[in-house]
Amino acid sequence: DRAAKEALSEERAEAEAAALEADAAAKALFAEERAAAEAAALAADAEETLALLDGPAGDEAAIEAAREEVEARRQALMDARAARDQISRRSEARTGRLASIEKDLSGWEKRRDAAAAQTKVIAARIADAALELETAEAAPLAIAERRSELIEEVAGAEARLTAAVDALAVIEAQLKDAAQAEKAAEAELSEAREGRARLETRMEAAKERAAEFRKLIEDAAGCAPEEFLERFEIDPELLPNVKDLERAITALRQKRDKLGAVNLRADQELAEVTAERESLSRERADLEAAIGKLRQGVNALNREGRERLLAAFEEVNRNFAALFTHLFDGGDAKLALVESDDPLEAGLEIFCQPPGKRLTSLSLLSGGEQTLTAISLIFAVFMVNPAPICVLDEVDAPLDDANVSRFCDLLDEMTRRTNTRFLIITHHAVSMSRMDRLFGVTMVEKGVSQLVSVDLRTAVSMVDA
């Protein structure tokens, strides 16, 4: 675009200079025509004067002088006419040059518009590529975030599992203590019941024996036992104490009640905790298996991507070297992966060596050489997976006639190698002359466009016939 603007400025400067020169030439032409008219008038006067002179009787010196003056004026007239003709030719040449400059100026403006449109297209492509790159870069982040979430869930599940195991251990300990306490209480209760039964039996036996003793006392002493105690001053405290037995029984009953009720849902709660633990274990195993599969899938995709990229890179590199040599009639070119050993993260560098030059990078070549190199790279990529139709828009605009001929030779070679039909949008005469068919748009009437098609092969055959 900068080169086009500079060329446009130069063409405009040349056009202005040509216009100034044409104005000066027009003024000079006017002056020469006026001088020629004056010379013609003087020549006519001299002719009249010569006619009025008497032949032999006149003054021969005056006649000779008049003739010389007439001859001088005729020579001046001829010189003026020659100068006028030269100025006319120069004016016509400048007019043609001015028209050519106007035509070139129009061409440069069209090229500038085309370059601006191409810049917009490239900017849109860059935006699309940036969006795709952002999406591709966001995918590993999403996977990493999902992996972090899964790890956090696994950690939470492990924490819940640990808490459940601890709670289960506490419940099992409590259940064991309760069972032991229950067994102890049942044993004490059984012992208490046995003791009570024994005491009741002993009490019945004691009552029976007391009744027997009472009867014996009454029979032997002839009085009731109370009277017997008073008579013989016997202390009742020394007799066996029944209340101590009752208090022992009451204490045993209270101790049994303090143990509380037995937890009948302990087995069910243990089963629920065990089921939850097994479920968490299965989920953890599933998560670990999913993470392993995900890592295997990522590694497989990276491995296959590297293999495909390297295979495509080698093929494109071979095609690029062959097409570069074909376009430049010699030289060498190659592609290289730089900045990383991983092909998926490496950059691409283009090295070129045109005939007679040393090996260098693409940025150090001239504009035409860069264009031919870019065309070689585009066709090298295209040959890996050719399409039925390829559209090339003004690719020969920066090239001179010799390089355009090389470009057309490359198109012929591509046509022979592939089954692709190339559609070329161009304004270059050499490119149009090498095509099989031309399509153009002409405006027969103002506001009415018409498509025109010419088969150059048929036209050439008709001319040869």
User: Tens digits of per-residue pLDDT, 132-145?
Assistant: 877 777 777 777 77
Whether the pLDDT of residue 435 is over 80: the answer is yes
What is the mean predicted confidence (pLDDT) over 227-255? 67
pLDDT tier for residue 8 given thresholds of 50, 70 and 90: low
The pLDDT mean for the chain works out to: 77
Q: Which residues make Cβ contacts (< 8 Å) with residue 221, sequence separation at least 6? A: 227, 228, 231
Whether the pLDDT of residue 58 is over 50: the answer is no
pLDDT tier for residue 25 given thresholds of 50, 70 and 90: low
Contact 353, 332 (CB under 8 A): yes
Q: Which two tokens stand for residue 258?
A: 């303090």
The pTM for the full model equals: 0.38
pLDDT score, position 461: 73
Whether the pLDDT of residue 215 is over 80: the answer is no
Of 431, 377, 379, 384, residue with least CA distance to 404: 431
pLDDT score, position 271: 87
Between 108 and 273, where is the model more confident? 273
One-letter identity of residue 169? A
The 10s digit of each residue's pLDDT in 155-182 is 887 888 888 788 888 888 888 887 888 7
The 10s digit of each residue's pLDDT in 219-233 is 766 667 677 667 666
Of 328, 330, 422, residue with least CA distance to 382: 422
Half-sphere exposure of 465 (CA within 13 A, CB side): 6
DSSP one-letter code for 395:
T
Whether the pLDDT of residue 298 is over 80: the answer is yes
pLDDT score, position 105: 73
